[in-house]
Structure 1
Amino acid sequence: MTGIEDAGSCGLAVVLLSNRDRLRAYLLARGAGDIADDLLQEMWIKASAIHKDVEPSPLSYLFRMAERLLLDTWRQGNRRSLRDSNWAEVNDRGADPSAEHALIARQEVGIATSRLRALGDRVEHVFRRYRIDGVEQRVIAQELGVSLSTVEKDLRKAYAALLEIRSGLDAD
């Protein structure tokens, strides 16, 4: 790990470094495989940024952090895989979609984009970061400096608007 010399001032990072092998074994036992060291690096970065006591047990805190990071990684992988398979399915329907279908699809994307923009920049940004980029809601909240509840409300607004659009398109 890099930055070991800087860890002296941060108690949680010191606990992580002194229990690195245990945490790595924990991740490997849960199927982390090749990404165990990457997760430990990410944990070290996060632990170094935490400047508060995580009593009563910093080690328990680190094991929970490891579990959450592993789950987040799997979720992102699943989202990516689902997006890729959906994309492949759409493309497999025909190597050369008709011009009419392509035009309709572009119009529908345009309608959805316009509707999301009409809801406001933050709602559009939250929707794109969560649904397209696969970023966790709590991370988006931190990026924007808003509460998790605000991010959830913005996503509900976006979903409602898209459902309304979809209902209108299905009726046509």
Structure 2
Amino acid sequence: MSGQSAFSQAAIAKLRPGGIDEVVRRHEGMLRRFIALRIGGGADVDDLVHEVFLRFARRPPDEGVERLDSYLFQTAANLIRDRARRQQVRRLAAPEIEEDAAAQVPATPEQTLIDRETLTQVRQALADLPERTRHVFLLYRIDGLRHQAIADALGVSISTVEKDVRRAMAHLTRRVRRP
């Protein structure tokens, strides 16, 4: 195989819906090696390979891909970069989180139940958000990235990031009820 697959819109259309199996069969090995070389192997390789093919399969049917290999490897590189950013933020935040947890008073069984119910509501509310809005919100609130960094990473405007954060906050406020 030359490593360069030219796929016109017509060729991609022929791949749907069952044709994704052919794309996976032809490119999974190369993609798996590409990712493993960059992150060192493990279960994350499987997750990232799966996410690459999932993103390919979710593309709109009329969206053409001129070079399938390039599309798949660029998607993988973007996912690897996002993963590294999240890990970096978590490493930096870990000592602070541990200090906060150690300073807290043990919760009562009633408070534990309330907290679990609230967490379930938050998870459901987050799952209901559009993918980009959820991703922006998590990068901002959980990973602690600034609006500019998020805009640069996702290739959107700062205004879009601000709107997504506001939209997510309003949605969570409406959906999550604390007793």
TM-score (norm 1): 0.51
Number of residue pairs aligned between Structure 1 and Structure 2: 114
Matched, 1:53 2:64: yes
Counterpart residue type for residue 28 of structure 1: A
Separation in 1 of the partners of 2:51 and 2:135? 23
Q: In the TM superposition, what whole-angstrom CA distance separates every residue of 1:3-47 from its partner, at most 9, and x where no partner exists?
A: xxxx94156774343110000001111124111111011111111
Q: Note if contact 2:136-2:161 (Cα within 8 Å) is conserved in structure 1.
A: no
Separation in structure 1 between the aligned mates of residue 29 and residue 135 of structure 2, nearest angstrom: 37
AA paired with 2:23?
Answer: V
The 1:53/1:61 distance shift into structure 2, 3 A limit, reads same
Give aligned-pair identity as a percent: 20
1:42 corresponds in structure 2 to: 51
User: 1-side partners of 2:95 and 2:26: how far apart?
Assistant: 42
What is the Cα-based RMSD across aligned positions, in Å?
A: 3.8
Q: In structure 1, which of residues 120, 133, 147 is the aligned counterpart of residue 142 of structure 2?
A: 133
Structure 1 unmatched runs, 5+:
1-6, 97-124, 142-146, 158-172
Q: With the length of structure 2 as denominator, give the TM-score of the two structures.
A: 0.49
More helix by share: 1
Larger radius of gyration: 1
Secondary structure in 1 matching 2:83: helix
Q: Is the 8 A contact 2:35 2:45 kept in 1?
A: yes
Between 1 and 2, higher relative CO (CA 8 Å, sep ≥ 6) is seen in 2
Residue 85 to residue 17, structure 1, CA distance change in 2 (3 Å): farther
The 2-side partners of 1:49 and 1:126 are apart by 17
More off after superposition, 128-137 vs 35-44: 128-137
